[in-house]
């Protein structure tokens, strides 16, 4: 295998880990409450702006930006839940879709108004530039994002499957009324799900900002990928999003390199359709 091909695969894996990172919040919300958060991409966008603001105003790197973005977007998640989602959940499915879609537009155009249409980028020295290992180049910022992506996804998976809080959250998602009879407060659990999803999304944004451009519409570009990753992996499955993210990242990189960049989306989406054909619930979703 040539060095270039190895580089393509490594780049694809790192990209895929990042896809998994910014998709985990979306899949969590779906798994917990059957709500698709169409504002997810814009949550990521605001996480990215948190990192930009912390750098430009305070000169802080990712170690300052990540916790701040996590808290900011978790707060945004809780607010969204109490002010919007809690109410529209009582309405028909269409109201839920349009409600979070409206939230997406509100956040996007607020960012336009406040930050302007300019593209911002962070200096690549923040995460220590790049290094070469066995002839393959690694970008510090992407390695950090990929590693944290893996870590967060596994952490969320453990919380949901191995802890008491996770069991309570799952109980609420299975049957909120029954859970309430068992002494669990559904609203508290759902708000917690939004907070956790927000924190994961904020962290994703703050890390992606280190190697991507930040602009008010960046959420659009990223949201499509998040939706594909989540439905590929199975709505509600955090591990599924991780596996799907890695597959999409590698397939995208390999097809762009071997076949041509204009075909990569075709190849990824054909694969996506094939998966849904044979497993409509996604790779690891519940049937």
Contact positions toward other proteins, by CB under 8 A?
4, 7-8, 11, 15, 108-109, 112, 116-121, 124, 130, 137, 139, 142, 211-213, 215-218, 220-222, 225, 252-254, 256-257, 260-262, 264-265
* Cα distance between residue 203 and residue 200, in whole Å: 5
Least spacing, CB of residue 163 vs other proteins, in Å:
34
Comparison of 31 and 149: residue with beta carbon closer to other proteins: 149
Residue 68 CA to residue 76 CA, distance in Å, equals: 12
Q: 261-268 contacts: CB < 8 A, separation 24 or more?
A: 268/228
Of 154 and 271, which CB lies nearer to other proteins in the complex structure? 271
Distances (CA, A) of 139 to 3, 144, 145, 152, 283: 16, 9, 10, 20, 30
Name beta bridge partners: 130.
139
Give the nearest distance from C-beta 59 to other proteins in angstroms. 17
Neighbours of 138 (CB within 10 A): 16
Nearer to other proteins, 35 or 247 (CB): 247
Comparing CB distances to other proteins, the nearer of 221 and 281 is 221
Kindly compute the dihedral angle of the four CA atoms of residues 35, 39, 40, 46, in this order, to the nearest 10 degrees. Answer: -150
70 or 222, CB closer to other proteins?
222
Task: Pick between residue 113 and residue 277 the one whose CB is nearest to other proteins.
Answer: 113
Q: How far is the CB of 212 from other proteins (least distance, A)?
A: 8
> Residue 140 corresponds to which tokens in the numbers above?
């510090």
Whose Cβ is closer to other proteins: residue 32's or residue 256's? Answer: 256
Q: How far is the CB of 99 from other proteins (least distance, A)?
A: 21
Rounded to a whole number of angstroms, the minimum distance from the CB of residue 263 to other proteins is: 10
Sequence-separated (6 or more) residues with CB below 8 Å from residue 13: 146, 246, 249, 250
To other proteins, the closest distance from the beta carbon of 155 in angstroms equals: 25
Q: Which residue number, 15 or 28, has a Cβ lying nearer to other proteins? A: 15
Minimum distance from residue 35 beta carbon to other proteins (Å): 25
Q: How far is the CB of 257 from other proteins (least distance, A)?
A: 4
């Amino acid at each position: 295998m040539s060095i270039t091909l190895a580089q393509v695969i490594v780049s694809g894996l790192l990209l895929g880990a990042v896809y998994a990172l910014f998709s985990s919040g979306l899949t969590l919300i779906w798994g917990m409450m059957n709500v698709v958060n169409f504002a997810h991409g814009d949550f990521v966008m605001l996480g990215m702006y948190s990192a930009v603001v912390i750098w430009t105003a305070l000169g802080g790197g990712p170690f300052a930006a990540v916790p701040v973005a996590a808290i900011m977007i978790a707060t945004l998640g809780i607010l969204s839940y109490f002010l919007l989602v809690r109410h529209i959940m009582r309405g028909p499915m269409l109201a839920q879709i349009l409600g979070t879609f409206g939230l997406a537009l509100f956040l996007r155009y607020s960012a336009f108004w406040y930050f302007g249409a300019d593209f911002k980028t962070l200096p690549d020295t923040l995460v220590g530039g790049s290094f070469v290992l066995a002839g393959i180049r690694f970008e510090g910022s992407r390695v950090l994002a990929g590693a944290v992506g893996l870590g967060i996804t596994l952490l969320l998976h453990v919380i949901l499957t191995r802890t008491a809080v996770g069991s309570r959250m799952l109980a609420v998602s299975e049957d909120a009324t029954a859970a309430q009879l068992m002494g669990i407060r559904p609203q508290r659990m759902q708000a917690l799900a939004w907070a956790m999803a927000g924190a994961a999304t904020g962290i994703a944004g703050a890390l992606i900002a280190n190697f991507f451009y930040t602009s008010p519409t960046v959420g659009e570009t990223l949201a499509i990928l998040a939706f594909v990753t989540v439905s590929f992996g199975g709505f509600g499955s955090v591990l599924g999003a991780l596996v799907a993210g890695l597959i999409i990242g590698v397939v995208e990189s390999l097809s762009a390199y071997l076949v041509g960049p204009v075909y990569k989306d075709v190849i990824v989406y054909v694969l996506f359709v094939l998966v849904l054909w044979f497993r409509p619930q996604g790779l690891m979703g519940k049937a």
